[in-house]
Structure 1
C-alpha cells in the first residue's frame, strides 16, 4: 500500500476527475448527443424530477426543455425556475461536453434575496501591491457577507507550486485562522488546477453525500463532465475537506495567461444548497478583480522590461566607449546583483570569466550545466540546490539562477546569479509531508488530518526566487549577446 508523499501525489495526479461517471446528488443530469438524444441519465432523476431514469435513454430531451435548447450556443447557460415540481421549481443549466454533446442539469431553485449590484464597492484598477492586497481583502469580505460563509480565503499559488492564504474573512464560529499559512502543492494537484481554469467556479454541496452514478442504454463511454456544475468530487478531496471540518465549499479561479494564479475558497461547516444566481453574481465580481490583476501584472512586466532595457542600452554604450573593463564590470555586476537580489554573479565566455561577490565552485557549476543540457533547458533556478541536485556533495551556494546562451559554437555564454543560505521560517497549515494511511479501499491514502499551524525552519534554502526570475533571465540574453 502506498504511503509516501510522492506516491500520494502520483495517485492524485492520475485521477480522471472529469470522467467519474457520477454526479453530486444535489440535482439530476441528462447527457445529450449531437441529435439531442439522451445518452446518459443520472439514476436519481425520479427523485429530483420525474420518470424512471432509463425511460429517457435513446429518446429526445423532454419537451419541457426543447425550447430552451434553441437558446443554447455552445457555452454554459442558466435558466431559473424553468421546471415545476409539486412544491417548488428546478433550475436548468446547459453546458458543453468536450468533443460534442450537452450536459443538462436540473437543480432545485434557491429563492434567496436579490443581490444588488456591488460594483461601486470595488476599485476600477490596481496600481500597487498594497492596493492589490486591499482589493483581495475587500472582495473576500464581501463574499463572506453575502453568503454567510464560515470562512472565505484568498489562496495564492507561489512559484514553487505551494499555496499561501494571503487574505481571510471568517465567521466567529470558525475554528482558528489560516491567514499567512502555506499548503503544499500536492493539496491541489495539477489535474485539478487545470479543471479550475475550465469553469467559472466549482461548488461542492455536501462532502458527506454519496455520488449518484450515470447510466446509459448501451455500454457507452463515460461522458466528459468537465463543465458540469454537479460533477462528482474526488474521494481524496472529500477526505481533505472533511479533515478540515468543511461540509460545503465553492472555489472561484484567478487566472493568468495560461496558469492558475489563485483560488478564492469559500467554506461552510454545514451542507449548503447554493443559490446559482449568487454564485454567478460573485463570479462576475471575481472576473472584475481578475481583469484588474492581469492589467496590473502586465503593467509591472512592462515596467520591468523598460527598466532592464534602459540598463542594457546604458551598458551597451559603456562597452563601446570605455577602455577600462574592470570599472565596467564593477558597475554592471552591482546592477545585476541588485536586479536579481543575489549575493554573487558570474558571467563565463570562452574568452573570460567575470565574477563578483559570492563564487560558485567549478565542480558545482559543471553539475548545473550538465543538468541543463540533460533537461534541454536554457534557464533554470533553484532555492535549494543540494536538494534539487543531490549529486552535488558540498557547496556554499544555496540558490542559483542560471542562463546559458549558445550564439555560435565558439560563443557560449553562461550567467549565474548566486544566493547564500538564508535561515527563515515557513508557517504551514499542518505538516505538508504527512499523508495518512486510510482504511478505505477506494482511498488507500488520505490527506493529513491536522491543519494546525506548523513552523518549518529552513537552513539550507536561499530566499525564494520571484515569478519574474525566468523573464529576467531571458531578457538578459540581449545583453549577453554584446559580451
Structure 2
C-alpha cells in the first residue's frame, strides 16, 4: 500500500493550463472517502477514515463487522452502491450515518469503474436544516418568475447569501472571450464592492471549466486546512475525483483565494445549452462549511435560474432570428427579380445593416461601389482595394469577420477610421463582389479585479506562474476594437451568403438555358437566309453595269454576310459545347504549312491594308481537323488585326519540336491586363464589349479556339514578349493514343 500524492504542486509555464486537478490524490479534511470495485474490495481510502468513522478500512480488503462498530452500517451502504456499480439497481440517494456523537452526510456515486462513498461531517441538527428547506423553496418561487437577466442574477445572489451565510455572493456572466464580469453582488458592508469588475479567462483554466459543467457545485470549506491523502495500492493509477464533493484544491487556486483574503468558497455553475454561461461565486473571510442538503438546494436554485435565463435568451434570440429571416427574405426576393445582384443589394443594404446592428455598410462589385451609414467613399474604396489585393488568409475564408480591422489590416488604420468591426459576405470573389457591414470603434474602460497578468516567480523547479497578489481595482482602456460579432449574427450571415449563392446558381442555370436556346435558334434559322444573301451579293458583284456601283454594293453585302455567318458559326459551336455535344472533330492527314499559307493569302486578300509575314518550314504533317484548325488561326489573325497597333505587321510562325507542332501569332501591342488574362479563354468576356475595332465581337472566338485545340490534345496560351503580344498554339505531332513511325 502506498500514499497517493497529488501531482507535482509546482506548476510550470508550460503546463499551468493542463494541471490535472481531477486527480489530486487527496481530499478536503471535513470528510473522508472510500472507493471500492465491483467485488466490494476497497481500492482507495482517505487516510483519516479511522479517526472519523471508527472503522479500520484497509486497501485490498472487504469491510467486515470486526473492523469497528460503524463498519456494519458502512458495509451495508457500500453493498447497495456495489449493486448500482454492477448495473443491478440505481445509485442510492444521499443518506446519513451516525458514528458516536457525529453525524455524516453520505453521498455515493459511480465513476471510473469504481464506487465512491463520501462521508461529510454535518454540524447542524435536523431542526436547523428544516428551516433551510422552506427558505430554499421561497427562493425558487421568486426565481421562476420572468424577469430581466440582470434582475434574476441580483435576486439569486441575495437569496443564496441569505441561505448560506457567506460574506459575499457574486454572479459572474462570461463574455465571448471567456473573461467573467461581475453582473450582480450581495455582500456585507465591510467588504469593498466588486460589482462591474472583470476577471480574465485565465482565472478559470479550461480543465476547471469542464469540471464546472460536469460537477455544478463546489465547496472549499477551509482554504487553509491541510489536505488528506488517499491511500491506494502501489502502482495503482490516481483516482478520478471529477464528481467528488470532497476533492482537494489545486495549490494555485488555494494561493489565488488566499491572495483575495478568502477563507472559504462555494461556486454554483450556471449552465446553458451544456456550456458554462456564468457562475455564482460565494466567498467567506473565514472557514465555512455549508451543509450538503443546503448545497443541493443551492444547486437546484441555480438550475431554476439557468432555465429562466435560457428562456429569456431564447425569446430574445427568436425575435432577432425572426427579424433576420424577414430581412433575408425581402433581399432574396429582390435578388430573384433584379437584373443583377448589385442593384438589389444596394436597395436593401441599409435595412440589413440595421438588422445586423451595424453602423455602416458597403456593396462592391467590380468597379461599382455604394456606401451607407456615414462611411465615406474613400474609406469604402480603401477597404475594397485591400480585399482585392490578396490580403491575409482570413479573407479567403467562408466569411470575413473581425472586431479589430486596424490590427488585421494596419494599412487601413488611418483611412478607415473609426471603423473597426467588419463582417464581409462575398457573393462574387472573381469580381471582388462583397456585402460588408461595419461597426465603429468602441473605446472601453475595463475595470479589472487586479491587474489580469499572472506573475512569474522562481520556484524549486524553475519559473512558475503565480496568481496576482492584489485584487484592487485596475483599469485598462481598450481601443481599435468594436463590439464582437455574435454567433447568431455569424450564422445569419452564413445563411444569407448561401441564399445569395443559390439565387446566383438558379439565375446562371436559367441564363444558360435561355442562351443555349437562343444560340440554337440563331444558328438554325439564320444560316439559310444568310447563305441566300451571300449568293445574291456575288451576283451583284460580278454583273454590275453601272460603272461598278453594283459591284461595290455586292462586296459590302458579301462582307457583312460573311461576318454574320462567322458569328452564327460561333453561336452554333457555343451551343454544341454548352450542350455537351462537343465540336465533332473530323481528323485527316494535313500539311499544316499548306493550310497556313492558304490562310495567309486569304487574309491578305480580304484585308489588303494589313501586312502579314509568314515564317514557315517546308512541311508540317499532322492528324487534325483542317477546318477547325483554320478556324483557330483565322481567329488569332483577326484578333491581332483588331487589337494590334496599326502600321506593324502580323507575324505567323510555325515550327516542330519533335513532339509538338507550334504555331505562333504575334502582333505589336501593349500587354493584356492581368484581370483580363484570367478570363481570356472564357466566353462572353466583359473585355470583349465596347471594342471600337471589333464591335461585333462577343468574346466567343478565343473560347471556341481553346476548345478546338484542347480537343486535339494540344494547348493555347498567351504571353507578352515586348513589344509583341504572342498567342502560341501547340498541337501534338501524332494523334493522342497513337505511336508515330
Scaled by the length of structure 1, what TM-score is found?
0.85
Once the two structures are overlaid, the 10-residue window that deviates more, 116-125 or 40-49, is 116-125
By relative contact order (CA 8 Å, sep 6+), the higher-ranking structure is 1
- 1:296-445 aligned at under 5 Å gives the runs 296-322=312-338, 328-346=344-362, 356=372, 357=375, 359=380, 360=383, 362-363=385-386, 370-371=393-394, 378-379=398-399, 381-387=401-407, 389=408, 392-395=410-413, 396=416, 397-403=419-425, 415-437=435-457, 439=459, 444-445=464-465
Q: Aligned partners of 1:443, 1:149: CA distance in 2, in Å?
A: 36
Counterpart Cα distance in 2 of 1:456 and 1:473: 32
Structure with more helix by fraction: 2
Secondary structure of the residue aligned to 1:40 is strand
Name the TM-score, length of structure 2 as normaliser.
Answer: 0.57
Change in CA separation of 1:412 and 1:147 when aligned onto 2, cut-off 3 Å: same
Aligned residue runs from structure 1 range 38-57, under 5 A: 38-52=42-56, 55-57=58-60
Residues 478 and 79 of structure 1, relative CA distance in 2, 3 Å threshold: same
CA contact (8 A) 1:378 1:405 kept: no
Q: Is the 8 A contact 2:223 2:254 kept in 1?
A: yes
Matched-pair contact (CA < 8 Å) for 1:9–1:186 = no
- Among candidates 247, 263, 279, match of residue 247 of structure 1: 263
Partners of 1:404 and 1:234 in 2: CA distance: 48
- What is the CA-CA distance between 1:352 and the residue it aligns to? 7.2
Query: Contact 2:449/2:474 (CA < 8 Å) preserved in 1?
Result: yes
**Residue from 148, 153, 160 that aligns with 1:143:** 160
Alignment of 1:250-269 (within 5 A): 250-269=266-285
2-side partners of 1:264 and 1:334: how far apart? Answer: 41
Greater Cα radius of gyration, structure 1 or 2: 2
Equivalent residue number for residue 101 of structure 1: 114
User: Is the alpha carbon distance of 1:205 and 1:137 closer, same or farther for their aligned partners in structure 2, counting shifts above 3 Å?
Assistant: same
| Post-superposition offset of 1:66 | 4.0
Please give the secondary structure, in 2, of the residue aligned with 1:299.
helix
1:256 and 1:43 mapped to 2: Cα distance?
38
Considering only aligned residues, what root-mean-square deviation do their CA atoms show, in Å? 3.2
2:179 matched to which residue of 1? 162
* Structure-2 separation of matches of 1:32 and 1:368: 61
Instruction: Between 267-276 and 409-418, report the one with greater CA deviation.
Output: 409-418
Q: Deviations over 1:234-280 (max 9, x none)?
A: 11111111111111111111112131100011111111122111111
Distance in 2 of aligned mates of 1:405 and 1:328 = 13
Alignment of 1:204-215 (within 5 A): 204-215=220-231
Displacement, 1:347? 5.4
CA–CA distance in structure 1, aligned partners of residues 95 and 438 of structure 2? 59
Gaps of 5+ in 2: 1-10, 65-70, 505-741
What is the alpha-carbon distance in structure 2 between the residues aligned to residue 336 and residue 90 of structure 1?
A: 62
CA distance in 2, matches of 1:207, 1:141: 23
**Is 2:331–2:345's contact at 8 Å kept on the other side of the alignment?**
no
Alpha-carbon distance, 1:341 to partner = 2.5
Residue pair 2:267, 2:280 contacting (<8 A) in 1 also: yes
In structure 2, how many angstroms separate the alpha carbons of the residues matched to 1:100 and 1:334?
A: 60
Number of aligned positions between the proteins: 463
State the SS of the aligned residue for 2:329: helix
How many angstroms does 1:168 deviate by?
A: 0.4
Q: Contact between 1:436 and 1:447, CA under 8 Å: does it hold in 2?
A: no
Given the alignment, which residue of 57, 80, 86 partners 2:100? Answer: 86
Seen in structure 2, the aligned counterparts of structure 1 residues 331 and 410 have a Cα distance that, compared at 3 Å, is: closer
Q: CA deviation at 1:229?
A: 0.5
Whether contact under 8 Å (1:33, 1:101) holds in the other structure is yes
SS in structure 2 opposite 1:221? coil
Q: Which residue of 1 aligns with 2:616?
A: none
